[in-house]
Chains A and B, each alone.
Chain A
């Protein structure tokens, strides 16, 4: 499969984040192995999983493209496997991400996707939980509300990437905590046995944004959507890390 330059940054990502991506591609939300995965029997998986994940970034990228190509984008496949950007746009359409532009870069699209997903998660949080997110992050807003938090996220994306990553990560953590607290996550705890890694990723958000809707999307999206969200999250983190010097906190 042709290597997509949009996924080349994976080789610089943190081990734990890559592991979450790998778990999403190989296991479903209750810890069962995916029938169509082809990662877990490849040589690089055997040598790299779980503590040298950078060594298998190319296999991760190919597997993501394969899932996107085989299951979602059959109709536009040209024998080469779809580009990551095509998969990403397809996921955004499915997740009802608004104001996408034809000229948007992959980074732009991904960040809009992250905001949409976070906004959905925030919508499910209670007042106390919103307050704790906003207090944990030094967000310069007056209004402690859902709308305030979403608005802050949209602003931060442009003005302060460091804080943008921080808020997204906090929303994610609070969401997971809320899930565990309400017992919503208990049905999906299978994944916990795999070192908790995947629940700390997009699964947490997606659970709270409505699992029933999620299930209706069909098996293909259940792999590709969380995988793409995880990649989006990893890229924001990577971008912030690589030019953190330029950004004023």
Chain B
């Protein structure tokens, strides 16, 4: 059984510790989600997406079940939505659910799809869902009603985006530990290019990462340019995700978790 401590990226852990220091944050966040959002989203899922079960898209249902068994997590509900962009997300606190885009189901093979599912399970395991949901809630609140002006929410928003990128790295660790780093690299490559046929070399993005870091460090201007762009991303760039897992695969924890989840 995997624990959040096993897979948490240190920067993610620091950010969460910081969040926990805010008084009542847990109960406030939880009540926002419960009263405002979870019910709404579940209704919308049921209304517009396809829920996976042993009869409907059984492949997705069984792969999710197997993934959760490996991690030692209760199985969340799984929905499939129609989208050409390969993606997935998880939401909800009391009973979380995972939504996967149709193109992911089509273009990823079984192992890669499990890897994507394990990434989402990683978010659930690390309790990212709680804060992530609130980030999204605040964002939408600000956008729709102008309650939080950009000048006020700007720095907070960027800080939360920074944490959000770190939290992706924790979820990636969960994916790599559950399905192996090679499968993780293949999945990341497919998501980056959107194709199902990527050839037989799973480490192209790792090599690209080195090239990218070289470019970034070439001049100060490049560095500033790249960092400014990144500040607004909620997800780290594909090359950095590939690169981070390529570093982590040498760790004691990765090897230990691989032994435990070994197929």
Contact = CB atoms under 8 A, between A and B. Distances in A.
How big is the A interface, by class? 10 to 19
Nearest to B169: A41
A43 B250 CA distance: 9
A103 B125 CA distance: 56
Nearest to A41: B10
A49 B10 CA distance: 14
Given A33-B10, A33-B13, A47 B18 contact: no
Contacts of B10: 33, 37, 40-41
Contact of A32 (B17, B251, B252): B17
A33 B14 contact: yes
Contacts of A123: none
B218 interface: no
Interface string A41-72: 10100110111000000000000000000000
Nearest to B250: A47
A35 interface: yes
B247 interface: yes
Contacts of A193: 5
A49 B247 contact: no
B251 A47 contact: yes
B250 A46 contact: yes
Nearest to B18: A35
Nearest to B9: A41
A118 to B, nearest CB: 33
Contacts of B247: 43, 46
Contacts of A32: 17
Contact of A50 (B13, B17, B18, B252): B252
Contacts, number: 26
Nearest to A39: B10
A63 to B, nearest CB: 13
Nearest to B20: A32
Contact of A35 (B5, B9, B14, B250): B14
Contact of A46 (B13, B17, B248): B248
Contacts of B251: 46-47, 49
Nearest to B13: A33
Interface in A1-37: 32-33, 35, 37
A40 B11 CA distance: 9
A41 B169 CA distance: 12
A40 B13 CA distance: 11
A189 to B, nearest CB: 15
Contacts of A43: 247, 250
B1 to A, nearest CB: 15
B258 to A, nearest CB: 14
Contacts of B5: 193
A213 B13 CA distance: 28
B17 A33 contact: yes
Contacts of A33: 10, 13-14, 17
Interface string B14-30: 10011000000000000
B248 to A, nearest CB: 6
A140 B2 CA distance: 52
A33 B166 CA distance: 15
A138 to B, nearest CB: 39
Interface string A140-179: 0000000000000000000000000000000000000000
Nearest to B249: A46
Contacts of A41: 9-11
Contacts of A50: 252
Given A41-B9, A46-B250, A47-B250, 7 more contacts: A33-B10, A41-B10, A41-B11, A46-B251, A49-B252, A50-B252, A193-B5
18 contacts: A32-B17, A33-B10, A33-B13, A33-B14, A35-B14, A35-B17, A35-B18, A40-B10, A41-B9, A41-B10, A43-B247, A46-B247, A46-B250, A46-B251, A47-B251, A49-B251, A49-B252, A50-B252
10 closest Cβ pairs, A-B complex: A46-B251, A40-B10, A47-B250, A33-B13, A41-B10, A35-B14, A46-B250, A32-B17, A33-B14, A46-B247
